[in-house]
């Protein structure tokens, strides 16, 4: 029984004008009724694929960036970035070739450093989310401290946008996503780990317990 269908886009599902066939959206809806998940698989970025399949965006699995990024209903299921060690080498190799310009693709945006035509025009037209930055080499590693809570913002000085007056700060906001679909074995492991934790290891829970203790004079631990 078929449960999953994936297809390439450019040169396969799209026509010569890069348009989807008219029957594709009703077909995807029918596949959903039959319990079959449809997935556009492409080297394109997520923003571009989502725009292309906007009427059925919540019903398909997006395999983007040649498989490096997989998204479903806005959630990232898989992300495999290039390590910084290889990034510098790749950028230098591309820059050394005539009439070639590098582009870095992230989970939300594509980044370019050149404004030469026709490359600049092609990049801006082909990528739904594309930004020009001063230098693609300006990458760095940042260690998120253990125990960092969702919503925490870190200020990284001197890593922001460059201007005539200097370089601004970069603000890094942490978002912690809790998985919603766990296997029985995964749930058991989480439950086992929870049994080893103490309420005093949770900042908010400890603060609440301390307030209750101060109010009623009882030791919550």
The three-state DSSP-derived secondary structure of 80-104 is: CCCCHHHHHHHHHHHHCCCCCCCEE
Q: CA 6, CA 181: separation in Å to the nearest integer? A: 22
Mean pLDDT of the chain: 86
Mean per-residue pLDDT, 98-113: 89
Average pLDDT on 47-66 reads 94
Is the pLDDT reported for residue 141 higher than 70? no
- Are both 59 and 103 inside the same structural domain? no
Q: Is residue 88 a contact partner of residue 137, using CB atoms and an 8 Å limit?
A: yes
Number of domains in the chain: 3
Cα(195)–Cα(221) distance, integer angstroms = 14
Q: Tell me if 205 is assigned to some domain.
A: yes
Task: Judge contact between 121 and 132, C-beta under 8 A.
Answer: no
Strand partners of residue 132: 112
**Residue 167 covered by a domain:** no
In a 3-state reduction of DSSP, which class is residue 114?
coil
Least confident of 47-51, 57-61, 102-106, 212-216: 212-216
Mean pLDDT of 25-52: 94
Q: Could you tell me if residue 191 is inside a domain?
A: yes
pLDDT of residue 220: 63
Distance CA 108, CA 103 (A): 14
207: confidence class by pLDDT, cuts 50, 70, 90: confident
Quick one: 10 and 34 in the same domain?
yes
Residue 178 lies in a domain: no
Q: Residue 122 is inside which H or E element, if any?
A: helix 119-126
Average pLDDT over residues 194-219: 75
Q: Supply the CATH number for residue 33's domain.
A: 3.40.50.1000
Is the same domain home to 101 and 129? yes
- More confident: 180 or 2: 2
Structural domain range at position 203: 184-216
Mind listing the pLDDT tens digit for each residue in 75-100?
A: 899 998 887 778 888 899 999 999 89
Most confidently modeled range among 24-28, 148-152, 189-193, 216-220: 24-28
221 in a domain, yes or no?
A: no
Identify whether residues 37 and 97 lie together within a single domain.
no
């Amino acid at each position: 029984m078929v449960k999953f269908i994936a297809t390439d886009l450019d040169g396969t599902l799209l026509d010569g004008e890069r348009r989807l066939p008219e029957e594709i959206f009703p077909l995807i809806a029918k596949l959903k009724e039959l319990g079959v998940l449809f997935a556009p698989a492409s080297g394109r970025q997520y923003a571009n694929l989502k725009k292309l399949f906007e009427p059925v965006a919540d019903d398909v699995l997006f395999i983007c960036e040649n498989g490096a990024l997989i998204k479903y209903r806005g959630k990232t299921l898989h992300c495999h970035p290039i390590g910084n060690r290889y990034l510098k080498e790749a950028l230098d190799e591309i820059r050394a070739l005539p009439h070639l310009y590098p582009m870095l693709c992230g989970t939300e945006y594509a980044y370019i450093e050149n404004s030469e035509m026709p490359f600049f025009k092609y990049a801006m037209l082909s990528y739904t989310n594309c930004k020009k930055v001063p230098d693609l080499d300006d990458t760095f590693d940042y260690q998120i401290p253990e125990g960092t809570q969702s919503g925490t913002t870190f200020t990284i000085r001197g890593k922001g946008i460059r201007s005539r007056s200097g370089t601004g700060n970069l603000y890094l906001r942490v978002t912690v996503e809790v998985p919603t679909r766990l296997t029985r074995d995964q749930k058991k492991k989480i439950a086992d780990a929870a049994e080893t934790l103490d309420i005093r290891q949770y900042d908010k829970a400890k603060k609440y317990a301390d307030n209750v203790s101060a109010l009623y004079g009882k030791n919550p631990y």
